[in-house]
Amino acid sequence: MIYAVTITELDDFNAPNGALNPQESWREGNGSPSQPFQQPTGGPDGSGFLRDSSSGSSPGKNMQLWNTAQWTGDYLGQSIFSLSLDANNLSGPGGETINLRVALNGPGGWFVTEPQVLLPETGWQSLLFDLSSSGLVHAGQGNAVYDSTMSAVNRLQIISLEEDTFDIGGNAGLRGDTIVATLGLDNIKAGAAIPEPSGAALILIGCAGLIRRRR
């Protein structure tokens, strides 16, 4: 396997008509009849985006899709500690809520973020996921060591998962919720560590205290 991820990775799904891999290697399991596909227009800036559906019944019942190509590799070496994306719950009026999470698998096992709620009929939302050790919990398998997975990620998965009950299938990876839903994704982007405002604020308060004492 060639570990390829870089800090500049961006999936914008803007490939022109007739391109070889417009879905940018995002996929579901082999048996799923609802593989993710590029929608040529309708993204947050009007450009192409990725559309994926779950049927609520087998096959293709779970809201989940994954990448084992450009998103595999050494996140620590590339200083990738966050992931941002634009998401749109396209399930329609009265549709299911999507609880979007990012999950990564590697020698340390599965690690997953907290869910971010994506209600239907709310349009495109810009979401930021913390991939630092404080933003991820171990969901099963491997040696449970954060560095082990993040230095050799073999799969990046995007799922809807409301509860912290983790069901890991073989090929399916970390299973998403069994819901009838449609998800739009665009601008899946690697990022650096998210600054901690609380820590910075504490330092500022500390400095103000020092300045006051000197006067």
Residue carrying the six token digits 């009265």: 94
Near Ca ion by CB under 5 A, which window of 23-31, 40-48, 90-98, 104-112? 40-48
Residue in 43, 73, 106, 108 binding Ca ion, rule: CB under 5 A: 43
> Is 14 among the residues that bind Ca ion (CB under 5 A)?
yes
> Is 178 among the residues that bind Ca ion (CB under 5 A)?
no
Residue in 34, 47, 97, 141 binding Ca ion, rule: CB under 5 A: 47
> Is 186 among the residues that bind Ca ion (CB under 5 A)?
yes
E-strand stretches of the chain: 10-11, 26-27, 37-39, 49-55, 64-67, 82-89, 98-106, 109-112, 116-118, 125-130, 137-140, 155-160, 168-169, 173-174, 180-191
Determine the 3-state secondary structure of 73 from DSSP.
Answer: strand
> Is 12 among the residues that bind Ca ion (CB under 5 A)?
yes
Helices (H) and strands (E) in the chain, counts: 2, 15
Count residues binding Ca ion (CB under 5 A). Answer: 7
CB of 187 to Ca ion, least distance (A): 6
Which residues contact Ca ion by CB under 5 A?
Answer: 12-14, 43, 47-48, 186
